[in-house]
Amino acid sequence: MSDTTQVAVSWAAALGWRLERHLLAPVGDGSAAHVVRRLGAVLSMDESLAALAVAARSTTAGPGALAQALADGEVITGFTFRGAMHHLAPEDGGVYLGLRAAGRQWERTSWVDYYRLRPEDWPAFRAAVREALHAGPLTLPELGDALARHAAYRHLKPVFDDGAGTLVKPLSWQGDLSLGGTRDGQRLVQRLDDNPRWAGIPPLDEAGPQAIRHYLRTYGPATTDHVHHWLGDNLSAGRKRLEGWLAGLADELVPVDVEGTTAHVLAEDAESLAAARPSEAVTLLPGHDQWVMGVGTHDPHVTPPAHRDAVTRKANPVLVGGVVRGTWTLARPAKDGSRRVTVTWLDDTPGSATALAQEVQRLATALGQDLTLAG
């Protein structure tokens, strides 16, 4: 990466540019799968929040769009960032799964001792899992029953009966299975290679640079710390590998001076970033949205320190120009079926009342509900 700064922008302009990249200002019109692919990953621990994160970025991906994309295999679910479940695009989700698998946690002594699976046992174990799922999705206890037919894996049945959360993760990281819907309240798992859109997991040294490029396209201009937060923290890639991949991309990156902070974008995006202007958009997002999670709640330019506690507790943020300035809540339906949206401003920089009213109506469309703005 060159030491010569070629682009200089304000944080307000940089966030204005990033809002467009996030399909937030202006709002995009792509499918749910398009939104997921643009973001790289969408946290899926709470499906209602995930659905709203997608709907907030598309005029066409309304109620039920994400669920339908999952049912159609246009979106998959796996364990990736921070060890949590995320929705991914099958075409490039293998990039993130590959980074997650880089640490090879299943080879650690604690894993070997607990699950009684040695590193050399995993190829056969993975094959047995794929064979068990050959006829279709299974609940985890059902998968445990199928594996128990093999003497070598009979001891794992209690693990699967209890949910097998940790043991399932490396099977997800290595592309053997993805998480499906539920049946009788039980989570389903399914073979990933049955999905014709699944592109597989690229070699690690290809996955790393691909992930960095993708991150910069959507979350740039980004500092090295941003890259380490998203692709390094609890993702098994490791700081040394990330530094090497960043160094290898030197000719593709342009340094950006953002009010004294050195960040980077891809060279192909430098011109549009230089022309960016601050945004006055007011945006209502769900808790744990990728807008704040992708750069980390510790980034003061997106989440002012005074507001971090609320954001980390899953409060729904209100953005003004890309900065968290408030939170919003949705009341229970009234007798006529309408619901009231209450906005609480957290500092003295509230957004335009007109823009807020328009955003509430856009939220109503996204949710397919009748919403009114309290006060």
Secondary structure class of 335 (helix, strand, coil): coil
Distance CA 55, CA 362 (A): 10
Sheet holding 177-183, edge to edge: 138-139, 186-191, 177-183
Domain map of the chain by residue range? 1-38+212-375, 97-191
pLDDT digits (tens, 9 = 90+) for 270-298: 999 999 999 999 999 999 999 999 999 99
- What does the pLDDT read at residue 118? 96
Distance, C-alpha 60 to centroid of its chain: 20
CATH architecture of 97-191: Orthogonal Bundle (1.10)
Amino acid 275: pLDDT: 97
Q: Which two tokens stand for residue 51?
A: 């659905």
Whole-angstrom distance, CA of residue 368 vs CA of residue 199: 34
Find the length of the chain: 375
Distance CA 211, CA 97 (A): 11
Residues of the chain scoring pLDDT < 70: 1-5, 234-235
Position 25, amino acid: A
- Beta carbons within 10 angstroms of residue 327's beta carbon: 20
Cα(124)–Cα(131) distance, integer angstroms? 10
pLDDT value, residue 182: 87
Contact call for residues 90 and 76 (beta carbons, < 8 A):
yes
Find the Cα–Cα–Cα–Cα dihedral 74, 79, 80, 83, rounded to 10°: 150
Residues 6+ apart with CB under 8 A from 156: 115, 144, 147, 148, 164, 167
- Residue 163 confidence (pLDDT): 86
**What CA–CA distance (Å, rounded) separates 3 from 353?**
43
In whole angstroms, what is the distance from residue 100 CA to residue 295 CA?
Answer: 18
Q: What is the pLDDT of residue 1?
A: 43
Measured CA to CA, the distance from residue 54 to residue 259 in angstroms comes to: 31
